[in-house]
Every structure is written in structure tokens, then in C-alpha cells.
A = this chain, B = another copy of it.
Amino acid sequence: MNSGSDQSPKNVHTGSVNAPSRSIFFVSDGTGITAEVLGKGLLSQFEGINFRQIRIPFVDSPEKARECLQRIREVHEQNGIRPLVVLTMMDQEISALLRQGDALILDVFEAFIAPLENELGVRSAHTVGRTHGQTRREYVNRIAAMNFAIAHDDGISDADLINADVILVGVSRCGKTPTSLYLSMQFGLKAANYPLIPEDFERDRLPETVLPFRDKLFGLTISPEQLHKIRQERRPDSNYAALDTCRKEVAAAERIMRREGIKWFDTTSKSIEEVAVQIIQAINIKE
């Protein structure tokens, strides 16, 4: 079994290094992604506490449950603090085993499946591996959307723009690429993006290629100061990164978008999740 050491290398520690850390396990008979998304959302409400996050996916047999329990017990013994466990477990026999451990168990399906069964008047399937609630068609759509996003990043390809759900425009490094990828991955939208570049500013117009698709065009903008910081990391002390260049480009881009009546979003103090959801709202209002 592989559950012995499966923290993501990037996600292991949160908070400062010195305070003692509270361990939180994301345990599932599937990938554990639902447990992790929910768990992180909950933890964000408790700032100032160090959480050590440990992912234990694919716990789909009593044997693996016992190994998982053993791991939780070891962590408890090591630091003397009772661990937290966020559990999304379809198999009730296995989740009963896990409850025997000394930990605060936040059992997602236990909390919600029973009320749902009651409301819907049917028993749930209690089966694992349903690809996160997507139908096969949704899944295939999402993969196609991701391939579309990568093929239409940064104006690489003009082909097939008619099939885009969204086309983002904005100055280089304002957040078009991550937003496009997120829209495709999380929501299955075919998102293309086009940079606004100096020759667009000279012509003081949107690129010809995107003009026929005004109904699905959205702009992104960013504060010149933040843009300067981001570009500095990429090409230090270049003209491209100079604050003055950033100011001029942002002003020119916003002027074009305003005149063309393109709805735009400011990414300066927003996460890509927030920007993506705002774009989806704007699409739905248009339709």
C-alpha cells in the first residue's frame, strides 16, 4: 500500500515553521480531492494554526483502512496532538473501521448522504470512482476544453475560434493563461486567449482576428504596479517590464476595451477562481 507518505510535496506545511502543527488527513476510497478541497476551505477559517496536510487516497479495502489508522496513530503519538480527518468514504464498512481511531473525524458523506437519501426517497449507490460527479460526456467535454485552451493560448492559433465559448484579451501577463486553463478544467469551457500587443495599441483597436467574436470576448486587466512586478520576474530590467511600459499598456488596453464595449475584469486582487466564476456569470447573463 502506498499511503505511507503521500503528502503532496507542495502542500505539506501551512503556516509558520516554529509553531507545533496539527495534522489533518484527507482520507478517501477515491482520489480524496473532494475531501481536500473541502478540508482546505475549512482550514482557511482557522488562521494562525499550523496545519500539516496529509492526503491518503484510494483507501478501498479493510487492510488499507487499518494501515491508514496506523499512520494516523503514529502521527498522534509523534506530536501528541489529536489529528483531524476529513473523510469522503463511500464504503460504510471501511469508514466504520476508520472511526475507531482517536481523531476528530469530519465525515462528509455521513453528514449529507443520509439527509439526501431521505429527501430523494432513494438509497444512494455507495460506490466509488464516479469521476467526481461528471457524466462521461461532461468528462470528454472537459478534456476537449483543456486541449482547446492549450491550443489557443496566447493567440497561438486563430483556427476554430468560432467554437470557443470564451475569448480573453489583455496585456501580456495579466492572467489570461491561468484563467483560460481554469475555465477549461473546472467548467469545461473552451477558452481561447489573445494578447494585446504594442501594434494593437498603435492601431488603437482589438486584433482583427477576435473582432467577429465580440459576443464572447472578455477583457482582463491588472494594476500597472502588479504587472511590473510580474514582468520583472520574467524579464528583469527589460523595457517590457518597466513600470512606465506597464502603465502605458494597461491604459491603452483599457481604453480599447472601453471603447469596444468589452466587459472586463481586474485580476489584481482576485484569484483565478474568482475571475473565472465572474466570467461564467457574465456569459450566462449574455445568453
Contacts and interface: CB of A to CB of B under 8 A. Distances in A.
Interface of A: 2-11, 14-15, 22, 30-34, 37-49, 55, 57-58, 82, 84, 88, 90, 104, 106, 108-109, 111-113, 115-116, 119-120, 122, 124-127, 129-135, 138-139, 141, 143, 146-147, 150, 153, 165, 177-178, 181-182, 185-189, 271-274, 276-277, 280-285, 287
A9 B46 contact: no
B178 A43 contact: no
A84 B121 CA distance: 13
Contact of A57 (B15, B132, B281): B281
Given A84-B119, A273-B31, A133 B44 contact: yes
Q: How many copies of this chain are found per oligomer?
A: 2
Contact of A33 (B45, B277, B284): B277
Contacts of A49: 120, 122
A31 B108 contact: no
Which of A22, A31, A187, A188 has the most CB atoms of chain B within a 10 A radius of its CB? A31
25 contacts: A2-B285, A4-B285, A9-B284, A10-B187, A30-B274, A31-B277, A34-B41, A37-B37, A38-B38, A39-B133, A44-B125, A44-B131, A45-B113, A45-B124, A46-B116, A57-B277, A57-B281, A82-B119, A84-B119, A146-B181, A150-B150, A150-B153, A178-B185, A181-B181, A185-B185
Contacts of A45: 90, 109, 113, 116, 124-127, 130
A84 B116 contact: yes
Main secondary structure of the interface of A (DSSP, over half): helix
A5 B135 CA distance: 22
A147 B178 contact: yes
Nearest to A88: B41
A271 B57 CA distance: 14
Given A44-B130, A119-B82, A280-B6, A33 B37 contact: yes
Nearest to A276: B31
A184 B38 CA distance: 19
A141 B233 CA distance: 13
A274 B129 contact: yes
Given A115-B104, A177-B146, A46 B124 contact: yes
B181 A9 contact: no
A177 B280 CA distance: 24
B150 A10 contact: no
A103 to B, nearest CB: 9
B153 A6 contact: no
